[in-house]
Amino acid sequence: MRYPCRACDIDQGDIQVKRRYFGTDGIRGKVGEGLVTPDFVLKLGWAAGRVLGGHGSKVLIGKDTRISGYLFESALEAGLVAAGIDIRLLGPMPTPGIAYLTRTLHARAGIVISASHNPYYDNGIKFFSSDGDKLPDALEWEIEAEMDKPLSTVESADLGKAKRVEDATGRYIEFCKSTVPARLSLNGMKIVLDCAHGATYQVAPHVFDELGAEVTTIGTSPDGFNINAEVGSTHPEALRQAVLERGADLGIAFDGDGDRLMLVDRNGRLVDGDGILYIIARSRAVHGQLEGPVVGTVMTNLGLEDAFERAGIPFQRTQVGDRYILERLKETGGILGGEPSGHIICRDRTTTGDGIVSALQVLVEMQQQGRDLGQLLAGVETYPQVLINVRLPQRGEVLSHPEVTEALGEAEADLAGEGRVLLRPSGTEPLIRVMVEGRHAGRVEHWAKTLAEAVESAVGAVA
């Protein structure tokens, strides 16, 4: 099979051009800088309240475990209350749990305070609609327009009220367990959970313990500063070591807000989102439950695409970001999509990426087939892939710089039919991501390094 090289055309869509504040995944940055400040978040809460509903409307607020969550929770609460919105505070809660509770508690919206896999000194805000999906573009535009108006407070009689949802954790635990067959038992299975000192630390251990597994945990002692610090899905080394030391059957690592995961098999082999997506898709296909194409992104490994082709499973790619995966799934009637980073969307189970729910789908297949994780991946060959991040000191057009375009052309010509090249700006950080993938590791490494050096040179030239 021949593979065309793929280079990013840097098209993030018209939405990115029109938006001033919202990115592909809400608002994110370093605390105290840019948009991530108390005054901006207070105004954002007020503007969202004005757009999302009038007096008596209900909005949920949840957060991960980073120290600044207290600050932004209070700021959002003040802004929303000033707009006449009633608040339901969830406390530390995985992002997908907030989406679920927004839907089941019939709220007008859910707001997540989190910077996902980023360090503690970053934070962000993102919204869910009343049905647990990402907030529609039209509403984001309305909120941005409202931000230009002076903040005003409703009459005292119309001010919103705040109330804590005491059983939020228990509700979400029961939902997670409901996504697998009632007869499923994990008795006899040893599992290590790495909760990244993040939002899953209270929920995940209960879910897997109540299903019968023998659970060992790491990353379950958040202090506000250690979220994602050398643990979690972005640092799986600690999980791999724990799995091998304890002779566990499986290791599961979540990120800081719980919407993505990585797995480690009993031999310490890391399984990323591509492998997880393959296992779930094969399971759905075998049982006649797969609908529409499976959706990946331009970062999905060519080996997974090959494996799907051999299995007769239709596959499509979209640009990076769960927002775009979800859009394509809705367009095509699909139910499964995901990214190598471990963000897996099972639309037949929930409305957004959910690390716990995705892990449970893999465990169902392991139990039903009586096979371990490595055996379930026997049909997938992962091709060498190198990803290099080049940091941008300031915004500037670098991917159209002659030095970059020349190196890109040479890489595409050399890898034609046997690999792919992707250059793209990160949607959440000031980075250019350089990805090269192909059958031959040496050529992949050479072109990744060459292209990264070209981008770095162009950064210096436009600085």
Catalytic residue IDs: 116
Look-up of token digits 């051999």? 310
Phi then psi dihedrals of residue 61, to 5 deg: -130, 125
Structure token digits, residue 69: 């969550």
Give the Cα separation of 192 and 356 in Å (integer): 13
Query: Cα–Cα distances in Å, from 384 out to 119, 374, 418, 438?
Result: 28, 18, 11, 6
CA dihedral 389, 277, 347, 216 (to 10 degrees): -90
Identify the three-state secondary structure at position 83: coil
Task: Look at residues 384, 435, 383 and name the one whose alpha carbon lies nearest to residue 411.
Answer: 435
**Amino acid, single-letter form, for residue 107:** A
- Is residue 354 within 8 A of residue 333, CB to CB? The reply is no
- Is residue 22 within 8 A of residue 140, CB to CB? The reply is yes
Query: Cα–Cα distances in Å, from 144 out to 141, 147, 412?
Result: 5, 5, 40
Strands (E), 130-226: 162-164, 190-194, 214-218
Structure token digits, residue 150: 């002076």
